[in-house]
Structure 1
Amino acid sequence: MNNIHILILAAGSSSRMKRIKQLLKFRGKSLLQNSFDVAVASNAGKVYCVLGANFETITEHTDPTGAIILNNKDWQDGMGSSLAYGVDKIFEQEKDCDGILVMLADQPLITTGYLNSMLKAFRKNEKQIIVSNYGQKNGVPALFSNDFFSQLINLKGDEGAKNIIQENEDLIISLPARAMLFDIDTKEDYFKLINKEYNK
């Protein structure tokens, strides 16, 4: 499965958190380091990560071993901008890439096993989009075949990949991720995460 690469999006400024979210601690390491370790341990090929806000501070406190760091200087344009930038850079360097698995650094409960299940589903159903089921909607982590690279590269602002997923429902394979899809967007979310860990 080495022709499928992982793209971690971690370029935002964490404005709602009022702290550098990528460096918040989880299980003894930062959220970003956790996402690196989970991705690098998977059966995918290379792991790329798009940073932007607080680039120097984050890289100083992160061990990027096994991951390739990209710096989106236009990160303020929104997640769509960072996704487009990352896909463009990967396709530029990996011409034989079959697909890109997009994940977020602020979903710390995603496991290597789950990423591998997405890779396996893709291999059985190439030319599809493998998405994570949130119960009421589908979202990331999501694996896009190279048929969708041009659409991803043309994303702008905050639109992200949601529209691409919605417009191609007939090509989607949705995997249940349940409690793993826990996003850290606010201080309250982070406290809930830590409480879950202590109350296991």
Structure 2
Amino acid sequence: MISAIVMASGFGRRMKKEKLAMTIENIPMVERVVKEAKNSKVGEIILVYRNSNVKSILNGYHIKTIYNNQAYLGQSQSIKLGVKGSNNKTEAYMFFVGDQPYLKCDTINKLIDEFNKDKDHIVVPIYGENRGNPVIFPVKFKEDLLKLQGDIGARGIIKDNINSVKFINIRDEKQGRDIDDVESYCNLETNDQIIKHP
């Protein structure tokens, strides 16, 4: 099984508000991500959150939630909490970010299928020319993930094990887009229209 870990405990300082609760087509960003994961081949979904409002958005999805009371330590803390909270029968950890609203379950499944072909490899999606999320780490990297520090995520593990990384090209570059600031939110394209949000 694959454990989906949704990292949703950032502070969104550039947005200056809880961006994961902001809506796109009337659906909160974090809900869009979880909904697609729920419809995919993942075996479980774990939400690592800081803001109780984010957790409440997902009450109807019946997923596991873990409160991150040390979110100030950076993304590494979300990673470690998710790994520790995963099912002990998991074969891999699939890390999602909560602000990637255009990600689709077909892409999630494509990454899982690639992992299942060789369960010793890290699977990284490429959108256009950019690496993105969600990334799959085999369970053999558990101890490395638990040793992470700071806010740089698991990039160091990927770099140190580059020969064990499988890069997968995703045609739809829009799925890799994450929303970091007000400008990127206000210029989202939906149905080829530019939506202007207050």
Structure 1 residues 170 and 111 mapped into 2: Cα distance closer, same or farther (>3 Å)?
same
Q: Trace 1:45-84 onto structure 2 (pairs within 5 A).
A: 45-52=43-50, 55-84=51-80
Between the aligned partners of 1:43 and 1:66, the Cα distance in structure 2 is 16
Runs of 4+ in 1 over 6 A off after TM superposition: none
Distance 1:6 1:82, change over 3 A: same
1:198 Cα deviation after fit? 5.0
> Which letter maps to 1:132?
P
Contact 1:72 1:85 in 2 (8 A): yes
Give the superposition deviation at 1:85: 1.6
Q: Report the TM-score, using the length of structure 1 for normalisation.
A: 0.90
CA contact (8 A) 1:36 1:64 kept: no
**Which residue of structure 2 aligns with residue 32 of structure 1?**
30
- Letter of the 1:124 counterpart: K
Structure 1 residue 134: deviation in Å? 3.8
Identity over aligned pairs, percent: 24
TM-score (norm 2): 0.91
SS in 2 for 1:42: coil
Deviations 1:101-137 (A, max 9, x none): 1111101111000000011001101111000114444
Q: Report the AA paired with residue 77 of structure 1.
A: L
Alpha-carbon distance between aligned partners in 2 of 1:36 and 1:27, rounded to the nearest angstrom: 15
Q: Which residue of 1 aligns with 2:84?
A: 88
1:167 and 1:138 map into 2 onto residues whose CA distance is: 16
For structure 2, the residue ranges without an aligned partner over 5 or more in a row are: 194-198
Q: Distance in 1 between matches of 2:75 and 2:110?
A: 25
How many correspondences in the alignment? 191
Q: 1:64 to 1:167 in 2, by over 3 A?
A: farther
For residue 17 of structure 1, what is the aligned residue in structure 2? 15
Moved more, 59-68 or 26-35: 59-68
* SS of the residue 2:134 aligns to: strand
Paired residues for 1:101-120 under 5 Å? 101-120=94-113
Aligned residue number for residue 158 of structure 1: 151
Alignment correspondent of 2:177: 182
Structure 1 unaligned blocks of 5 or more = none
Alignment match, 2:196: none
Q: Is the contact between residue 40 and residue 109 of structure 2 (CA under 8 Å) also seen in structure 1?
A: yes
8 Å contact 1:40–1:66 — kept in the other structure? Answer: no
Q: Please state if 1:191 is matched with 2:189.
A: no
**Structure 2 CA distance for partners of 1:36 and 1:64, relative to 1, 3 Å:** farther
Shift of 1:179: 2.6
Retained in 1: the 8 A contact 2:132–2:176? no
| 8 Å contact kept, 1:36–1:67 | no
Name the residue aligned to 2:117.
124
Alpha-carbon separation, structure 2, partners of 1:163 and 1:135: 22
Structure 1 counterpart of 2:164, from 171, 183, 196: 171
Deviation of 1:35 after TM superposition, in Å, equals 1.1
